[in-house]
A = this chain, B = another copy of it.
């Protein structure tokens, strides 16, 4: 064991015992609040501990008890208020049950997620809530499950993995919102997402994210209802940064048959798409209608306010923490899984396409 030069050695139970003139076992009992200890000894120990500013070493405690009273949360993008709100829901429930919450951010990188999961497990957190970066590459999550470690997935499903998952089914809301666009007269509807894929979108291709594949499935279903097919070149993946989003938006809007509506798959996409629309001197919804996933406060402040798909993010965080704590404490899963559904919030960013307005 090496010692950190400038660090004072921490006060231990043995130090407190000596100061209180009791045995180490008595001091440990009083400080750890287990076993039996007389009131006289207890008060002397607690006084000595306060005098010495004793703080327990949680590492030692966890090694002994096999519990850390800590929940590890792995989030994909800490800048996205979506995750911020879910985390708040998690933290509120965890606190009530006596658990601390520690977070690790992965920037939606699979390798970072694999590492974050390992770090938290190695630190012996009591359980994990993970928003998977990929619905397909889930072997690391499978190992967690097989090792009997408590695990709940949030927001995204993992294929071939029977783990409690708190997520909205995206297909239905996507179907509903695409129907709304189609009924407004739109036929050329683009969908823009950050999802990384090796090639341009092709109908039927397996996508890495359950979220995105469900959205496309709902869109396709709405098109099928009117005897059409969702055009493949209007689904734009790999929109990884602001520049590529801008370029994609320009291309969609400046080509011979420009799209008349754009669906942004998340808040970051939306910001860049709306900015690109403004840079092109086009107006929402007169020149192009716009709809986005997730309801952020700022979507009400633009002119016009944006039509959004709102998810109950906080409640999902609450449900994820509740489910995880049940697992940790060995209780049975709740008999009825709460159903989460998203809502289409119609504001001002969708109207009939220009050619349809006679």
Tell me the A residues contacting B by CB distance below 8 Å.
1-8, 10, 53, 55-60, 62-67, 70, 78-81, 84-85, 87-88, 91, 100-105, 107, 118-119, 121-124, 143, 147-149, 268, 271-272, 274-275, 278, 296-298, 300-303, 330
Contact = CB atoms under 8 A, between A and B. Distances in A.
B1 A66 contact: yes
A272 B78 CA distance: 22
A300 B118 CA distance: 39
Contact of A81 (B7, B79, B302): B79
A1 B62 CA distance: 9
Contacts of A84: 78-80, 84
Contacts of A119: 58, 100
* Copies of this protein in the complex: 2
Contacts of A300: 275
B330 A301 contact: no
A122 to B, nearest CB: 4
Contacts of A274: 301
B59 A63 contact: yes
Contacts of A124: 57-59
Contacts of A62: 59
Contacts of A148: 6-8
A66 B3 contact: yes
A78 B67 contact: no
B79 A88 contact: yes
A63 B60 contact: yes
Given A78-B78, A78-B84, A55 B2 contact: no
Sorted nearest first, the 7 A-B pairs with minimum C-beta distance are A79-B84, A298-B298, A303-B303, A58-B122, A103-B103, A102-B102, A271-B297
Given A10-B147, A271-B297, 6 more contacts: A1-B64, A55-B122, A57-B122, A79-B81, A102-B102, A278-B301
Contacts of A100: 104, 119
Contacts of A80: 84
Contact of A55 (B91, B103, B118, B278): B118
A208 to B, nearest CB: 23
Contacts of A107: 88
Nearest to A271: B297
